[in-house]
Amino acid sequence: MDDFDYKEAIDRIKAAFPPGTVQKRGDNGRAYIPNQVYTDRVEEATGSRWNREIRDVEINIPHGFVKVVARVTIGEHYRDGIGFSEIEQDASGKGKSVSNKVDQAYAEAVREALDTWQIGWKNLAPYYQEEKDWAKNPALHHLLQSQAPGEAGRNSVMQARAVVEHYCIFAKCGKQLSRDEWDFLSLIPALNRDKMKFCFEHVPNHLKKKAPADVLKSYEEKFKPK
């Protein structure tokens, strides 16, 4: 078997998809790329030398959610992602279509992990450059061009991962959430991140207190006003 070239595989993963790959969601009009497109790209780019696995599953029917932690491994490198889905209860209080909800959360977790390798960024950037999103950052202008970023752009890419495509819903805030703030919301039991999007400052206190005490303390230190 040929030696695996990790850098070459990642360059292929980052490459732009063919025109027409990006689709629009029916509920909010946001641009996205289907999960199958991502997995097909990784399969081709790595020559099937990659792996995805479930690391943790939490099914909380009383609070109505499924949380899945998935790991994607390419070569000797791995990234973890977290996915959520909501569970509805029937009249007797039992969860409905739980296995399907686990599959949905797993798919989201895999997508979150793959996103750390910038898959699809070149195609999605044009759709977000007019909004308060990562593609509007002038340091990431290379995403709107055909060539891959050079060495000078590597720090900019790291800056891109520092923020996510979500904004605080608190009145008159609208701040773009950092990756740390988005991850903190995932640590609050039963919180639906798709609806309850807050920067750390504006997370209601009664919700903050639901996070593990040691985690909350570390985040309070991290976001302490300077």
Please determine, looking at this structure, whether the domain spanning 6-124 carries the CATH number 1.10.3720.10. Answer: no
Among 82, 107, 86, smallest CA distance to 97 is for 86
The one-character DSSP state at 50 is E
pLDDT in tens, 98-124: 888 899 899 989 998 999 998 998 888
d(CA 100, CA 87): 10
The one-character DSSP state at 202 is G
Predicted local confidence at residue 110, as pLDDT: 93
Predicted local confidence at residue 152, as pLDDT: 36
Poorest-pLDDT segment among 134-138, 167-171, 185-189, 210-214: 134-138
pTM for this structure?
Answer: 0.59
CA dist 196 → 49, 167, 181 (Å): 38, 10, 12
d(CA 188, CA 212): 8
pLDDT in tens, 20-77: 899 988 777 788 899 899 999 999 999 999 999 999 999 888 888 889 999 999 998 9
d(CA 211, CA 219): 10
Q: Please, which residues bridge with residue 163 across strands?
A: 178
Tokens of 190: 């039963």
Please state, as a whole number, how many other Cβ atoms lie within 10 Å of the Cβ of residue 86: 15
131 compared with 144, residue with greater pLDDT: 144
d(CA 94, CA 63): 12
Instruction: Give the helix ranges, DSSP H, for the chain.
Output: 6-14, 35-46, 98-115, 121-128, 154-161, 179-186, 205-208, 213-222
Among 83, 93, 81, 70, smallest CA distance to 117 is for 81
Poorest-pLDDT segment among 11-15, 43-47, 70-74, 163-167: 163-167
